[in-house]
Chains A and B, each alone.
Chain A
Amino acid sequence: METEIRLEGVCKYYGKKQALKDVTMTIPSGMFGLLGRNGAGKTTLMKILATLHRADVGKVSVCGVDVKNSAEIRSMTGYLPQDFSMYGNMGAYEAMDYLGTLSGLSKGERKKRIPELLEKVNLSHNYRTKVKAMSGGMRRRLGIAQAILNNPKVLIVDEPTAGLDPEERVRFRNLLCEIAEERIVILSTHIVGDVEATCENIAVLDEGSLKFAGTVEELLNMAEGRIYTAEVSRMELEKIKKDYIVTGMLTKGSMVDVRFVSEEKPFEGAKNCEPNVEDAYLYLMNEKGGETVCL
Chain B
Amino acid sequence: MLISLIKKECSMWMKSIVFYAYVIILIVFYVSQLEGGELIRKPEPGGDDYGYIYSDDENIIMNGTLKDLVCDFESERDFATYPVGFYKSVTLSEGEREQLASCISRLCKMSREEWEQALVEYSAGYSVEYDELGRETVEEKVPWPIVVPSDMTYEEFEAIMEEVSDIIGPGNNYEKENLKEHAEVKMTYEQALLEYDNILYKDKVSGAYARLFCDYIGIILGLLPVFFGTARVLKDKRSQVKEVVYAKKAGTAAIVCSRYLGIVIMIFLPVLLLSFLPMSKAVFVAKTAGVKVDYLAFVKYAAGWLLPTVLFVTAFSYAITELTEGFLAILAGMVVWFTALFSSVTLQWAGWNLIPRFNSLGEYNLFLYLRPQLVANRIFYTVLALMLLGLTLTVYALKRKGVLKNGKVSENLGS
Binding site for B on A (CB under 8 A): 14-15, 17, 19, 38-44, 47, 50-54, 70-71, 74-75, 77-79, 81, 83-89, 97-99, 101-104, 107, 143, 146, 150, 208
Contacts and interface: CB of A to CB of B under 8 A. Distances in A.
B414 A89 contact: no
Contacts of A103: 248-250
A88 B239 contact: yes
B407 to A, nearest CB: 16
* Interface-centre pick from B8, B241, B247 (highest chain A CB count, 10 A): B247
Contacts of B246: 52
A52 B243 contact: yes
Nearest to A86: B241
A83 B242 CA distance: 11
15 contacts: A14-B410, A19-B415, A40-B415, A41-B415, A43-B415, A52-B243, A52-B246, A52-B247, A54-B402, A70-B401, A81-B243, A85-B244, A88-B239, A89-B15, A102-B248
A46 to B, nearest CB: 10
Interface string B232-256: 0001000111011111111100010
A88 B16 CA distance: 12
A77 B248 CA distance: 8
Contacts of A38: 415
Interface in B25-59: none
A84 B244 contact: yes
Nearest to B245: A102
B247 A17 contact: no
A104 B410 contact: no
Contact of B247 (A19, A42, A74, A87): A74
B179 interface: no
Given A14-B413, A53-B413, A71 B251 contact: yes
Nearest to B7: A101
B400 interface: yes
Nearest to B5: A101
Nearest to A132: B239
B52 to A, nearest CB: 54
A93 to B, nearest CB: 13
Interface string B87-130: 00000000000000000000000000000000000000000000
Nearest to A53: B402
A150 B245 CA distance: 13
B361 to A, nearest CB: 43
B400 to A, nearest CB: 7
A43 B414 contact: yes
B278 to A, nearest CB: 35
B119 to A, nearest CB: 70
Contacts of A44: 413-415
B136 interface: no
Contacts of B288: none
The secondary-structure label for the interface of chain B is loop
B148 to A, nearest CB: 69
Given A81-B244, A89-B15, A52 B415 contact: no
Interface string B372-415: 00000000000000000000000000001111000000111111
A153 B403 CA distance: 26
Given A40-B415, A50-B247, A102-B248, A87 B12 contact: yes
Nearest to B248: A102
Contact of B1 (A83, A104, A143): A104
Contact of B415 (A42, A54, A71, A143): A42
Contacts of B5: 101-102
Contacts of B8: 97-98, 101
Given A88-B239, A103-B249, A54 B401 contact: yes
A39 B240 CA distance: 20
B77 to A, nearest CB: 56
A44 B402 CA distance: 10
Given A87-B12, A101-B5, A104-B1, A79 B247 contact: yes
B1 A101 contact: yes
B4 interface: yes
A17 B411 CA distance: 8
A38 B414 CA distance: 10
Given A19-B415, A54-B403, A85-B241, 19 more contacts: A17-B412, A44-B413, A44-B414, A47-B243, A50-B247, A51-B400, A52-B400, A74-B248, A75-B249, A85-B244, A86-B239, A87-B235, A87-B239, A87-B241, A98-B8, A99-B248, A101-B250, A103-B248, A103-B249
